[in-house]
Amino acid sequence: MLTDDTLRKVRETARIDEVASGYLTLHRSGKDFVALCPFHDERHPSFRVSPARNIGKCFSCGEAADPIRLVCHMEGCGFEEAVRLLARKYNIEVEETAAAGRERRRDEREALLLANASFASGLLPGHPVGTARTVEDRHGLEETYRGFGVGLCPPNVPQVFRPFLGRLIFPIHTTGGQVAGFAGRSLTPSEKGRKYVNSPDSPAYHKGHILYGLHKAVKAVRSEGRILLCEGYKDVLAFHACGIRYAVGLCGTALTEEHIRAIRRLAGQVTLSLDPDPAGRQNTVRCAHMLLSEGCAVSLLPLPDGMDPDEVYRRKGSDELARLAREGTLDYLSYRIRQAASRPHTDTAAINETLGEIGLLSSPLAVYRKIGELSGATGIPIEVLRQEISVATGPKNVPVPVPKKEAAGLTPTLPRERTLLRFCLTHHDRMFYDPDGNEISLPAWVSGELADNELPLEDPEHARLLHLLSEGKHPDGIADERLSALVLSLRASAPQDTGPVPDERLPGETRFQVLLYGDAGTGKSSAIKAIANAFADQGLRLVEVKKNQLYQIPDLMDALASNPLKFILFIDDLSFTANDDNFAALKAILEGSVGGRAGNIAVYATSNRRHLIKETLTDREGDDIHESDTRQELMSLSARFGLTITFGSPDRERYLHIVEELAKQYGVELDPRQLAVRSEAFAVRSGGRSARVAKQFIELCKAGVFS
């Protein structure tokens, strides 16, 4: 069993956009991405990937996924296996609980994958290069074979792999890179027996779901916007050896709907390069029809002299195969139209067959253009062809809308219950207080709210989740797949008004407003921004308010009071002159109005003045009768900040330490003695030592001003 720390590291490191790009083609949409949904079949992208929230959600079927759940679905694996895949991707060390140890039971799929990985790592190097024309061609094949893990079966293998003895082994990987199965090719094709021996279907391997080489081709498929579909393993390797890295192959089976879904999620254009024999030509037509009916653009790659791609590579070289792949493709329907036009006009069967293929297109405009192309090639009036295709194909089937469904692990429940649970997840690590100032548990408050409103937890999964949270369990550390899916679905749902909420604040944070004062350049503003960045993932946000906007703060507070997030209202370089109207406004803001002060808002200000008011000696010698009262009034504003922090200029030792650390960060290489002398001289010219002065000095050194 994986440790909570491992699970948390994977959740914090794995990015939904990076993981999704390995299975889907993402298109930029503002700050997010969109793609075809991996959870249901669709023609138009409705799956929105949000890097900010690290979640993907389909707005058609309602399914949501974080990186772990997406890997679970795409790889057909369990929760722990998905975590291990992501840990390997991001170089995270996997830790397991001591109770699990080496003797822990593994499910059948995991056991098969472990055995496959062990067998693949023990394959012997070497492969037949055949009649590759040049040394470069042979080198290309050798390098490609090694990259795909192809090798010879060793003599001493476990019983389950005995059928592969004496064969060249092609490991077959999932899109995520796991070894799901193998294909073994006889080294002596003239021998009696099967040319290929394949791994049987198992929980780890389904021939109808996996495309050979897709784990290597994903990046190239996305960049090219197309995919090249081959029939044999060696054909795929030949294309990759000559630089056509968007080639994939069928694993000894016919093209399936699962294959097409995997293709369409990555590319809308498919080039077929199947075997040129009669069975291969028949398979090409079948594949083309399936792809066209699913909205894919289909083209053909005819090869000379009836050769397959591997033969072209070996007889004519890698450059010729690459040229053919780049320049020799033909639009499938255009090719079929030319075939039909070359037959006698009395052969109406060929025309009707071509019209039937055109009718597979989902776009009315594309159908119209292809009918026009057929009319131009055959001389048949376009009106006749349009009438004929309407008879041949009939009305298009009206697609049945996919019903929206809840994400896995959810049952219908009352909106108030779901909203409160979402609020609980969002603020699970906050400190909450009752009206008397006593600290309370957020799960306990949620349970109380539900009970007070006579809304008991109807879903047992909700009760389990609330129980784990009440025990201090972090939502990202929940390994249970159903509860993890529930957390994900709640987070992906739209925020709703929770109604009255308890008072809250960040862990360890007081309710006091904060004044940071001191010398210029000592890091007052930077400290506040650092606080906001440190707690941003816990819902803290920074709102900067200018001094001339102070009168707007009450309205701003009213607007933010009901927001579930926490806010710091940041006022930089605050100071006042005599008779400044903003002076009284800020006093009222800090004290709070008669309606009370919002519990999710604090005011942070920076200033070079302790008392914020410009003071003169005449203030002490004025004609006020109650001089002390006047001074107290001037000093009272700073007293309304509950916490005052002083930022002093660094002494020489600390200043030089700051300079040294910044020099390391910026890569500035100077003799330590010279660095100290020049930085001190720069501080004298700049009016004194400060962190800002140190940073300016190092930046000038980096720019070559001080060399």
* SS (HEC) of 288-329: HHHHHHCCCEEEECCCHHHCCHHHHHHHHCHHHHHHHHHHCC
Cα distance between residue 85 and residue 76, in whole Å: 12
The percentage of residues in the chain with a pLDDT greater than 90, rounded to a whole number, is 17
| pLDDT at position 238 | 93
What is residue 477's predicted lDDT score, i.e. its pLDDT? Answer: 67
Left (φ > 0), alpha (ψ -120 to 50) or beta: where does 423 sit?
alpha
Given this model, what pLDDT does residue 243 score? Answer: 93
- How is residue 494 annotated by DSSP? P
Of residues 573 and 496, which shows the higher confidence score? 573
Three-state DSSP at 578 gives coil
Distances in Å between the Cα of 91 and the Cα atoms of 10, 11, 77, 217, 486 are 10, 13, 20, 22, 28
Q: How confident is the model at residue 507 (pLDDT cuts 50, 70, 90)?
A: very low
What pLDDT digit, counting tens, does each position of 74-96 carry?
A: 887 878 888 888 988 888 888 87
pLDDT at residue 180, as a whole number: 92
Residue 637's nearest CA partner among 603, 597, 586, 602 is: 586
Rounded Cα distance between 3 and 477, Å, is 9
Higher pLDDT, 231 or 547: 231
Summarize pLDDT for 233-256 with one digit per residue, the tens: 999 999 999 999 999 999 888 899
Return the percent helix, strand and coil in the chain, to nearest 5. Answer: 45, 15, 40
Other Cβ atoms less than 10 A from the Cβ of 683: the count is: 22
Phi, psi torsion values for 689, nearest 5 degrees: -85, 140
Least trusted range by pLDDT, from 416-430, 494-508, 679-693: 494-508
Burial of 687 (0-12, 13-18, 19+ CB in 10 A): exposed
Other CB atoms within 10 Å distance of the CB of residue 447: 19
Across the range 197-217, mean pLDDT stands at 90
pLDDT at 413: 46
User: What span, in angstroms and rounded, lies between the C-alpha atoms of 78 and 97?
Assistant: 18
Reported as a single tens digit per residue, the pLDDT across 379-424 is 888 888 888 876 655 444 433 333 333 333 333 445 666 777 777 7
